[in-house]
Structure 1
């Protein structure tokens, strides 16, 4: 509203702005008050109480509680494929049903992919799935991707996602580098970002990585080795396709 007033100083009235809360929390349905007046303890009873109610701020927001919807209802909503896929992923993102549901949405993934900038949009969806999902979810997401895209497209999508991980790692390293020295922090950020990218790509491709192997990858301090593992991970079907010596 402040921005609108700055752009329209001659106007004496404000435009209508509809507030909307989209909820997808893991702890059940939304239970908070939807009217600001319900947050006040009003004195008196009956008519006296209603007089007080008229004097407190009055404000109500719209609520889209995704936890109260099923997949069929979300699929039937109007809107572009990306919006419907986002609703579904948010609704089931932190549930045990997600891995089982993902293959049912393959056609929707294909519609998103076919739209302009579809690959960029899928990167966002896959990034969310990889962060909130378990191993079963990551395997299912990888299978869905290979169903709607050819191998080269999947490789490009995962490379784009991996580059984002690497960039984030570099930023984290730079932040730490304020105390340890900029160059040292930058190098640590590159190494950590590249190692995390290798693990994320393997997870998306459904490759099992044990705790020992995971620590082995994260502890690697040779960027050339990490680059080699990164390139191999893009097409790997097993851990032996990536590491020079998995047993080590």
Structure 2
């Protein structure tokens, strides 16, 4: 079942004009000038691993360069609270999958299209710190002259990064693009921070621009539902005040009534996530016991009280080969 981040991202940036705004904000200017943006269109073919659906969503677009050559844009949205140090390897795998799909669909072609990989991050716990180049993940000899020789032998790959957590609100507001794209950047940037409720009134003019655009009411409904699912009571009250300032009372009340449904949805999702976490925690304890590792009460409580499914999955992967509990907790990439 898709989560609130996935639904919001796909609704907002799955549309070519808003996707183009995101890509233009990150791509080098010379590349932007060579793309025929009128040809940008969404493509099917998600390659995110099923177990990562709660922490990621991905979008694929195709376009043409001004000379007519094909181009693919692979956009991954990272939702998880912690930075994944292996993202470069995962992105390389995703891009290779896209190229394999393209080869099957275009067997007559002798060349591959360029695939532009982009990670857009909005985690709540600080800026992105993971390597963006896959060659940085390899353990190479320490000697400088030897390292260059070895670096030439490993794969070279780099993804673009749009780290929303590193951007100021003024910079996001000033980005060119449709009003909904700019509002989405701000909401994603501050949606899981304590600043959200205080910042919402400062975006009233932008809310009004979204309302005035085609499909404005529907767009606002999606934004409000997302704010409710990720925000608190103060956010809900403040968002209601903003709504009343950009539309008439009846329309605002209709949108506010949908909050009850969203609250029920959030409770349902929370229950499902808790169930998945409990199942993984019990499975992890079984693996550790079967492998003869001593699990003291402190470790047992650490496992049973963890509610982050991505963290539990990492512990499960490490438990298969770990010889001590410390190897289960520690990231081997650190």
Task: Give the TM-score range, shorter chain.
Answer: 0.5 to 0.7
Matches within 5 A, 1:81-160: 81-159=179-257
2:116 counterpart SS class? coil
Aligned partners of 1:31 and 1:170: how far apart in 2?
Answer: 33
Aligned partners of 2:267 and 2:190: how far apart in 1?
Answer: 28
Aligned partners of 2:254 and 2:148: how far apart in 1?
Answer: 62
Give the TM-score taking structure 2 as reference length.
0.47
What count of residue pairs does the alignment treat as equivalent?
173
Larger Rg: 1
Matches within 5 A, 1:1-248: 1-159=99-257, 162=260
Cα distance change on mapping 1:121 and 1:36 into 2, 3 Å: same
Cα distance change on mapping 1:129 and 1:171 into 2, 3 Å: closer
2:180 counterpart SS class? helix
Cα distance change on mapping 1:170 and 1:86 into 2, 3 Å: closer
Aligned partners of 1:29 and 1:7: how far apart in 2?
Answer: 38
Greater percentage in strand = 2
Aligned partners of 1:57 and 1:24: how far apart in 2?
Answer: 28
Cα deviation, 1:75-116, whole Å, max 9, x if unaligned, reads 100111111001111111122221111011011111111222
Q: Which residue of 2 aligns with 1:244?
A: none
Which range is displaced more, 27-36 or 91-100? 91-100
Cα distance change on mapping 1:71 and 1:170 into 2, 3 Å: closer
Unaligned 5+ runs, structure 1: 174-248
Cα deviation, 1:162-216, whole Å, max 9, x if unaligned, reads 556668989999xxxxxxxxxxxxxxxxxxxxxxxxxxxxxxxxxxxxxxxxxxx
Which range is displaced more, 78-87 or 12-21? 12-21
Aligned partners of 2:268 and 2:144: how far apart in 1?
Answer: 62
